[in-house]
Amino acid sequence: GGGGNAPPADVKDGSAASSSSEFKRPDKHRGKLFFALPNGKAILYELEGTASEASPEKKIEVKCKCKRTEMQGLLVNNWLNTHQGFDVKIDVGGDDKSVQVTGPKSLDVPEMSSREYKLKFFAYRAGTTNVSVTFTNPKTKENVRYELEFVAGDVQEKVLPLLETCVRRRKVIGEEIYNPLDEQVTVSSFSCEDPGIFVQTPIVVPPKGSSRIKIVYNPLVVSARKDGVKLSVASEQLGEFVYSLSLSATEAGTDTTMRFTTDLGSQAIQTYHFRSFATEAADAEYECEIKGSEFTVPTTVTAKVVAAGSDGADTAVDVCYEPSNMGGVRDTLVIKSKGKAGMFQVALIGKCDKPKRKGPVEVKAGSSATIEFKNVLSEDAEYTFSINNPAFTLGSTTAKIAKKDKCKISISYSPSEDSPGFDVGNLLIVCKKMKHPWIYYVRGSK
């Protein structure tokens, strides 16, 4: 008999239908296979093959940190006994513009050898990115393909230099943030484990450009050195930027010195201003304390609550110096937050001179005037009163006055017939415990 025709056989890429069949392009290939039989007959097969995309040479999973360049090597073999040059095509899955995958556009491999291709991966945000890298011989169209899955985890912390300052004295450092995108991005927020750290947001970063963020350290309380303090600065488009801080806050010592000068029996009042950085009502309540008795202040003062990172609120407290003896005295005013807004210390220096002459005290004829006199001593004391003109009469000539208490001295005026229309005199107040008297000038008129 004659030869018979068998139905076409479909041959997929990777089958063993023909050792000489090569599928180099994704087109259909047709051929015939003829068998001559011993009995004189023959069998003819019509062949049709379809070349599908080759399986990847290798599938690789890469775990890495975001915001850090990851280098991945891909080993490319040259199976020919002649040099091969490959064109390299990188396909990145998804549409995350903040992911960057780069590498050389070509690779040359010597005959019958291998060469490593360096692929760079950089992700600004945590997530998974699928990447396909194809090495194609431009002449034969033969290719080798790698499939990679990059799993970007938490961001790698950047360690910054030590920030060391005294309380309420700002220390500022800057950090550049680069935007690789073709559109501007916004750094919208920050968070930190230490309340003394502040970053002014929002910050706009231009396309393909950079902006400098200012990290402000303004501690309100003394703190020993702390390492590994986490600061996170966030952008919706670029994810988190994480920094590892080392912080140290030392004592400020005395903030300022206030000097007072007055005479015995008088007062000197000055106002001390300080800036409160309290961001909560509980922190804005301050207690005022002076150990000695020569200076006095209100026991508490309340500051305005301010926003974090602001220049603080000006807060005032009146300090009164009322000496009990002549000479000099030193003390310290301590203003301390009831919460976490810190402490202020002010050196107080007072100088007291001998009593100054006071007056005139005006007295009308036939009437009286009253002088209010205070015992400024820190103990009870006996005082004597006298006046050197008989036209004036004192209500009393002695008085025992409790410490820091007051008494009233009454002065009457009765002019003589030959008075010129007015009289003058000096009221003398003497205490045996004091070296110098108090003198009041008195003037009587008809």
The full DSSP string for 315-331 is EEEEEEE--SSSEEEEE
Query: What's the full length of the chain, in residues?
Result: 446
Calculate what percentage of the chain has a pLDDT beyond 70: 94
Q: What is the pTM of this model?
A: 0.65
The full DSSP string for 95-135 is --TTEEEE--SEEEE-TT-EEEEEEEEEESSSEEEEEEEEE
Cα-to-chain-centroid distance, residue 7: 79
Which two structure tokens, joined as six digits, stand for 38?
């011993």
Higher pLDDT, 43 or 418: 43
Using CA atoms of 361, 362, 366, 371 in order, give the dihedral in degrees to the nearest 10: -30
| Residues 36, 65: Cα–Cα separation, whole Å | 65
Angle among Cα 146, 147, 152 to the nearest 5 degrees reads: 130
Evaluate if residue 6 carries a pLDDT over 50.
Answer: no
Residue pLDDT, tens place only, 402-446:
999 999 999 999 988 888 888 999 999 999 988 899 999 999 998
Residue 160 φ/ψ, nearest 5 degrees: -105, 160
State the pairing for strand pair 313-321/295-296.
antiparallel
Per-residue pLDDT band at 53 (split at 50, 70, 90): confident
Q: What is the pLDDT of residue 11?
A: 37
Maximum alpha-carbon separation in the chain: 178
Higher pLDDT, 24 or 115: 115
- Mean pLDDT is lowest, of 45-59, 175-189, 209-223, 387-401, for 45-59
Q: Whose CA is closest to 296, among 265, 274, 267? A: 267
Q: What is the pLDDT of residue 378?
A: 86
| Residues 204, 241: Cα–Cα separation, whole Å | 15
* Residues facing 374 on adjacent strands: 406
DSSP secondary structure code for residue 432 in this structure:
T
Evaluate if residue 21 carries a pLDDT over 60.
Answer: no
Q: Where are the alpha helices (DSSP H) in 131-196?
A: none
